[in-house]
């Protein structure tokens, strides 16, 4: 079979009526920016990109989430902003690293899409050379809105017209959905283009592998304790089989494993993060990943409700996340709903 490039795939999607020319251009631009982030990430210590970004005085720079920023967080954010400013495909964009939406400079034409991104997810892993990634979500800008404000971004995940992530691992891989299946592209570094490597990915319904930060166990709610307790009971538990555990602490890497060989991922509510509503961000992480996972036949909930149906209340809102193989997500969700 002849290799299919991302560009060829986008043309096919346009001909199939799944996307329009503007969305096709948007994805090309994001993919090109992610190639630049991939190059910066791959340089490691040689590129002078490791470590913390400088803030005021001797302090590290702090982002809107109250987290210290790595140099690569800042570089990746700038690459995505700069790449998306001038193409005429965006009405505005929003980044996990910035408090407010970024408007398109007046000197450039505006488009009809809103782009949201987490420029470098899992950035605590950069300095130790473990996979990190970029996550993005695309919404339509409401008609007649020329200067989109926060309220225009607050659309439920069901309104996403595209979502994707790029994992910067041993290979750089782009995973993409337009709501017609989930597809994977691998970066051919010599040629410099993304090439289709899996079309119509399906996550197995059942699994024997779970991902969770076990160090938070004592802070979890009772239904989560019950659920994980059952998995840990192995052959003596209700599933009658042993479960394996993996936790990369880069959501992109954990989700990529799940869409490749199945599994479930949990970042549940716990007593430490109760006041924040969860750890992961609805608009930059939960919604795009939920869209990708559902399009691959999996499920994604907050433990109580389908993520994609949540009405967002804030741009940087956090939510609990349960996603992956359908049966296990449904069981864990059922335990929470039943206990309420
Ligand atoms: P960040 O981008 O700030 O490094 O956050 C990473 C996210 C997500 O990618 C990962 O699944 C989770 O936080 C890891 O959380 P723990 O630090 O609790 O392991």
pLDDT, tens digit, 9 for 90 and up, residues 20-69: 999 999 999 999 999 999 999 998 888 777 777 777 666 667 777 677 67
Overall average pLDDT of the 206-217 stretch: 96
Residue nearest atom 12 in ligand 1 by C-alpha distance: 249
Q: Contact 75/40 with Cβ under 8 angstroms?
A: yes
| pLDDT of 322 over the 80 cut | yes
Higher pLDDT, 36 or 2: 36
- For the chain, the 3-state helix, strand and coil shares in percent, each to the nearest 5, are 40, 25, 40
Q: Which residues are annotated as a binding site for substrate?
A: 121-124, 213, 279
| pLDDT of 70 over the 90 cut | no
Residue nearest atom 16 in ligand 1 by C-alpha distance: 249
Q: Which residues are annotated as a binding site?
A: 96, 118, 120-124, 213, 279, 285
Residue nearest atom 14 in ligand 1 by C-alpha distance: 249
| pLDDT of 329 over the 90 cut | yes
Overall average pLDDT of the 295-318 stretch: 98
pLDDT given for residue 58 in this prediction: 62
Query: Counting Cβ atoms within 10 Å, is residue 112 exposed (0-12), middle (13-18) or buried (19+)?
Result: middle
318 C-alpha to center of ligand 1: Å? 12
Q: Would you state the structure tokens that stand for residue 339, as one six-digit string?
A: 């206990």
Q: Would you state the structure tokens that stand for residue 164, as one six-digit string?
A: 């994707």
267 C-alpha to center of ligand 1: Å? 9
What would the pLDDT profile of 134-185 be if each residue is shown by its tens digit? Answer: 999 999 999 999 899 999 999 999 999 999 999 999 999 999 999 999 999 9
Overall average pLDDT of the 313-319 stretch: 98
pLDDT given for residue 50 in this prediction: 77
ipTM score of complex: 0.97
Sheet holding 102-103, edge to edge: 102-103, 90-95, 113-121, 132-140, 162-168, 172-177, 182-188, 193-198
122 C-alpha to center of ligand 1: Å? 5
Atom of ligand 1 nearest to the CA of 215: 18
In whole angstroms, what is the distance from residue 66 CA to residue 89 CA?
31
* pTM of the predicted model as reported, rounded to 2 decimal places: 0.95
- 249 pocket-lining for ligand 1 (C-beta < 6 Å): yes
- 73 pocket-lining for ligand 1 (C-beta < 6 Å): no
250 C-alpha to center of ligand 1: Å? 6
| pLDDT of 326 over the 80 cut | yes
- 121 pocket-lining for ligand 1 (C-beta < 6 Å): yes
How far does CA 195 lie from the centroid of its chain? 20
Q: What is the percent of the chain where pLDDT is above 70?
A: 98
């Amino acid at each position: 079979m002849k290799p299919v490039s991302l560009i060829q795939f986008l043309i096919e999607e346009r001909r199939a009526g799944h996307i329009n020319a503007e969305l096709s251009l948007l994805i090309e631009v994001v993919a090109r920016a992610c190639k630049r982030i991939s190059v910066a990430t791959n340089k490691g210590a040689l590129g002078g990109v490791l470590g913390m970004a400088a803030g005021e005085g001797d302090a590290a720079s702090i982002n809107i989430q109250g987290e210290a920023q790595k140099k690569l967080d800042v570089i990746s954010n700038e690459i995505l902003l700069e790449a998306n400013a001038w193409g005429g495909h965006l009405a505005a964009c929003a980044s996990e690293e910035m408090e407010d939406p970024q408007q398109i400079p007046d000197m450039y034409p505006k488009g009809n899409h809103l782009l949201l991104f987490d420029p470098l997810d899992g950035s605590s892993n950069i300095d130790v050379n473990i996979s990190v990634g970029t996550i993005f979500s695309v919404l339509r800008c409401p008609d007649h809105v020329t200067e989109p404000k926060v309220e225009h971004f607050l659309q439920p995940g069901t309104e996403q017209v595209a979502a994707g992530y790029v994992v910067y691992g041993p290979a750089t891989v782009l995973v993409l959905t337009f709501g017609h299946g989930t597809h994977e592209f691998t970066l051919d570094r010599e040629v410099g283009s993304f090439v289709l490597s899996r079309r119509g990915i399906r996550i197995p319904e059942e699994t024997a592998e779970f991902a969770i930060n076990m160090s938070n166990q004592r802070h979890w709610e009772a239904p989560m304790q019950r659920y994980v307790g059952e998995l840990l009971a192995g052959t003596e538990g209700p599933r009658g089989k042993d479960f394996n555990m993996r936790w990369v602490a880069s959501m992109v890497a954990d989700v990529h494993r799940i869409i490749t060989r199945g599994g479930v991922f949990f970042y549940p509510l716990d007593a430490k993060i109760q006041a924040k509503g969860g750890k992961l961000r609805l608009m930059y992480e939960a919604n795009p990943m939920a869209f990708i996972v559902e399009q691959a036949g999996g499920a994604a909930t907050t433990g109580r409700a389908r993520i994609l149906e949540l009405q967002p209340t804030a741009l940087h809102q956090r939510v609990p996340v349960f996603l992956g193989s359908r049966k296990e997500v449904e069981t864990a969700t059922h335990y929470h709903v039943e206990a309420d």
